[in-house]
Structure 1
Amino acid sequence: MADGSGRVLHVAETAQWELGRQVGSYEISSRGKTLAEEGFIHCSTATQAGPVLRNFYADLDPAALTLLVLDVDLLGALGSPVRWDDVPGAEAPFPHVYGPILPGAVVATLAVGGTAGAPELPPPADLDALDVLSAPPSPSE
Structure 2
Amino acid sequence: MLIYHVATLADWTAAQAAGAYTTSTYGVSLAQEGFLHCSREDQWRGVLSRYYTDVPEPLVLLAIDTDLVTVPVAEEPPAPGVSETYPHVYGALDPAAVVEVRSLDETSR
1:12-54 C-alpha deviation (Å, 9 max, x unpaired): 0001110011110110000111000000000001111111101
Q: Which of 60, 73, 87 is equivalent to 1:82?
A: 73
In the superposition, the TM-score normalised over structure 2's length comes to 0.90
- How many angstroms apart in 1 are the aligned matches of 2:48 and 2:72? 23
Please tell me the residue identity of whatever aligns with 1:27: T
- The count of residues paired between Structure 1 and Structure 2 equals 108
Deviation by residue 1:84-129 (Cα, 9 ceiling, x = unmatched): 01223645200000011111101110111444xx60xxxxxxxxxx
Letter matched to residue 110 of structure 1: R
Contact kept in structure 1, 2:7 and 2:61, CA below 8 Å: yes
Equivalent in the alignment of 2:60: 66
Could you tell me which runs of 5 or more consecutive residues in structure 2 were left unpaired when the two chains were aligned. none
Q: Is the 8 A contact 2:68 2:97 kept in 1?
A: yes
Corresponding residue number in structure 2 for 1:99:
91
2:36 corresponds, among 16, 23, 41, to: 41
Q: Against the structure 1 CA distance between its residues 14 and 34, is the aligned structure 2 distance closer, same or farther, given a 3 Å change threshold?
A: same
SS of the aligned residue for 1:99 comes to coil
Once the two structures are superposed, the pairs formed by residues 1-141 of structure 1 within 5 Å of their partners are 6-61=1-56, 64-75=58-69, 78=70, 80-88=71-79, 90-115=82-107, 119=109
CA shift for structure 1 position 69: 0.5
User: What secondary structure, in the 3-state scheme, does the structure 2 residue paired with 1:47 have?
Assistant: coil
Provide structure 1 residue ranges, at least 5 long, that are not aligned to the other structure: 1-5, 120-141
CA RMSD in angstroms comes to 1.6
Answer yes or no: is the 8 Å Cα contact 1:43–1:95 preserved in 2.
yes
Moved over 2 A (4+): 87-91
TM-score (norm 1): 0.71
Q: What percentage of residue pairs aligned between the two structures are identical?
A: 38
Name the SS of the counterpart of 1:11 in structure 2.
Answer: strand
